[in-house]
Amino acid sequence: MSTPDAPWSILGIAPTADGAAIRRAYAAKLKLTRPEDDRAGFEHLRAAYELALQWARQQVAAVRAPAPVSATTPTHGTVNETKASAADPTNVVDVERENVRRAFGELHAQLKSERGDSPEASRALAKILESPALENVSAEQWVERQLAGLLASFIPASDSLLESAAARFSWARPEAELDRTPPIEVILSRLNDLHFLDTLRSGESPYSAAFRGLQRRKIPLYSWMMAHISKAGVPGEYELLQLIRLHHRSLLPLLEPTAVAWWDRLAGRPQVSFPIILLGLAFAALSVIPGVAIGEPNAVLVSVGNIAAVFTGLALWKLYLLDWPRHLLRTKLPVPPVLVLLGWFPASIAVVLLALIPAWSFVSWILAVLAACATQWAWIVGWNGAPGSLQNVLTMPVFRVLIYNFVAGMWWLSAAGKMPPVPQLHAPVLCALAGSALGLPMAIAVWEQRLTSPQRWIWLFATSIVAIVAVAVLWFLADREAWRPVAAALVIVALLMHRHIAAMLGKRQQELRFGWMVTFFIGLIVVTVQSEQMTPQFDVVLTGFGSLLASTVLLCALMAMWNERQG
């Protein structure tokens, strides 16, 4: 059937627009190629026949141009049944048909007047749907077509009309899905949207808070911080926006346009936007406070370095350290877990290098700063806490900010040579601290998700143990060069276990955060231990730590309060 005249040669006639002639030719040929005897021949003949008929229809349509659709009369054919007696069902129905037609006119007028959900409209619709005339199949089909067209072109303000029509003709039946007409699709999608809107408004949906957020204007900096720090985070607004765009387009006008635009700007990757810079600055400043407080001149240098590293670190980390398998494959689809695991290696190697290079060398200094910033960035982009109560807002972010800043402060102090030589006695305390730094956030995550599987708890416990052992080994063996690779290997094991747990918990972002935190924490201890110029200034550490804690708690409390007031 490669040439246009092929169907005609198979049918054995000259091209014609006469359907009857085509049918005759088909019938004649069919007796020679019976479907049961000559399967291939029949399939060819049938294809030719359908092609020819289609061609003929097009010709006829072209000649007659827009043929008038006689859709206004649900009554045809049956009228010529002349035996009109009392028992003749055709007779009774005629009156009813007239009623249906009138009700249609009324419904049309109501819908057109933009008071679509008036009681008159519902009454008119009920009259149509309940009419005995619909018992006639052809009348029913006509009504169904007309009604779908009418309702789809004048979507009423309330959904009760759509609902009753959809229920009457069972439009939503899944087995009829493939042959819904466009108007029916419109109506069903509208009903679906309205149903979704109801759940959003009633607060039944997990997206309810996000929906309210999307209806508000965005205040750039504040909203950005809120998006990352407070409960209006990602399984909230942006996800909801995507959902609405994909499946509930008719709800888009209900959203605040600036909020939509704001999310669109934010969703691009990587985001080195003004708010990010500001937040980075804020964090850098926080980690510098203790240094400034004790009047250390190096503090300024460190904070500058820290800020610079925020920008380098975020781009490097986000784009290349973790995502390189994806970039290599040039795909936007989720990459297999094995490759994600591979993505960890450059990051792990960086940490190992950090541990192996002697303290106070320039490279070590830079690497430590990078690690600090990467942690910072991991925290920033990785935040996707679930929307929750004030309590959640207060506990989770505070805890994370605290850990991070503690780590950053410790690093700064050690870099500035202010780190005290911790006596051997304190080693167990430090190990326990490292273990809980790892284990506690995980424990909270598990508790938050109400995970009860004992296996998960065992894994959690095991990771903490490995982390504690890793820190202990590092602690005791830090001055013996030969043992450092072992210590580094332990660090990597701890990381991989983290990865595994995070995968079990189904939260990759959390794994990023804590993985990096542990990485950095252990690296920091190595650097600290290796530093030989440590002088005992324990009170300085305490001051710095105390001020960090106070400022962080204050910041989070302020944010939470602000958020509550806005909500």
Partner 1 sequence: MILGIDLGTTNSAAGVWRNGRAELIPNSLGHLLTPSAVSIDDDGKILVGLAARDRQVTHPERTATAFKRYMGTSRSLSLGQTRYYPEELSAFVLRSLKADAEHYLGETITDAVITVPAYFNDKQRKATKRAGELAGLRVERLLNEPTAAALAYGIHETGRETRFLVFDLGGGTFDVSVLDIFDGVIEVRASTGDNRLGGEDFNEVLIRMMLESCRQQWHLPDTPRSELLYQRVRAEAERARRLLSSEEQTTMSISWNDKHAEHLVSTEQFERAAETLLQRLRVPVVRALKDGGIDASQLDSIVLVGGATRMPIVRRAVTRMFGRFPDSRLNPDEAVALGAAVQAGLKQRDAALNEIVLTDVCPYTLGIEISEVVAGVGLRGGLFAPLIERNTIVPASRSKQFSTLTDGQTFVHVNVYQGEARQVSDNVKLGELKVPVPPRRAGEVNIDCRFSYDVSGLLEIDVHVPLTDERHQLVILDDEDGTQREEVQQRRERLAALKIHPRDQDANRVALSRAARCFEESLGERRELVGRWMSQFEAVLERQDPREIEMARNAFMKALDGVDGEVFL
Residues that bind partner 1 (CB under 8 A): 23-24, 26-28, 30-31, 34-36, 39, 42-43, 46, 76-78, 81, 89-90, 93, 135-141, 170, 174-179, 242, 245-246, 329, 331, 333-334, 336
Minimum distance from residue 107 beta carbon to partner 1 (Å): 22
Site of tokens 């959690």 = 460
Name the residue nearer to partner 1 (CB basis): 172 or 557: 172
From residue 493, how far is each of 194, 403, 517 by CA, in Å?
51, 22, 15
The answer to whether the beta carbons of residues 271 and 422 sit under 8 Å apart is no
Name the residue nearer to partner 1 (CB basis): 170 or 455: 170
Minimum distance from residue 186 beta carbon to partner 1 (Å): 16
Minimum distance from residue 30 beta carbon to partner 1 (Å): 5
Give the C-alpha separation, 319 to 347, whole Å.
12
The answer to whether the beta carbons of residues 523 and 355 sit under 8 Å apart is yes
Within 13 Å, how many C-alpha atoms sit on residue 200's CB side?
Answer: 24
Minimum distance from residue 169 beta carbon to partner 1 (Å): 9
Name the residue nearer to partner 1 (CB basis): 65 or 338: 338
The answer to whether the beta carbons of residues 377 and 223 sit under 8 Å apart is no
Minimum distance from residue 100 beta carbon to partner 1 (Å): 14
Please tell me whether residue 255 adopts helix, strand or coil conformation: coil
Name the residue nearer to partner 1 (CB basis): 253 or 334: 334
Minimum distance from residue 28 beta carbon to partner 1 (Å): 7
**DSSP assignments along 452-491, one per residue:** --HHHHHHHHHHHHHHHHHHHHHHHHTT-GGGHHHHHHHH
Name the residue nearer to partner 1 (CB basis): 83 or 565: 83
From residue 335, how far is each of 271, 322, 501 by CA, in Å?
22, 12, 18
Site of tokens 């309210």 = 212
Phi-psi region of 448 (alpha: psi -120 to 50; beta: other; left: phi over 0): alpha
Minimum distance from residue 194 beta carbon to partner 1 (Å): 21
Name the residue nearer to partner 1 (CB basis): 144 or 159: 144
From residue 371, how far is each of 94, 137, 273, 517, 531 by CA, in Å?
84, 74, 21, 9, 18
Both tokens assigned to 349: 């190697």
Site of tokens 């091209």 = 15
Name the residue nearer to partner 1 (CB basis): 40 or 482: 40
Q: Which residues contact 150 (CB under 8 A, 6 or more apart)?
A: 104, 107, 108, 111
Minimum distance from residue 456 beta carbon to partner 1 (Å): 26
Minimum distance from residue 212 beta carbon to partner 1 (Å): 22
Give the alpha-carbon dihedral of 52, 58, 63, 65, to 10 degrees. 160
Instruction: Please name the amino acid found at residue 376.
Output: Q
Name the residue nearer to partner 1 (CB basis): 30 or 155: 30
Minimum distance from residue 349 beta carbon to partner 1 (Å): 25
Give the C-alpha separation, 273 to 270, whole Å.
9
Name the residue nearer to partner 1 (CB basis): 109 or 176: 176
The gap from C-alpha 368 to its chain's centroid, in whole angstroms, comes to 34
Minimum distance from residue 412 beta carbon to partner 1 (Å): 41
Give the C-alpha separation, 150 to 133, whole Å.
19
Name the residue nearer to partner 1 (CB basis): 140 or 448: 140
Compute the chain's Rg from CA coordinates: 36
Overall size of the chain counted in residues: 567
Name the residue nearer to partner 1 (CB basis): 43 or 532: 43
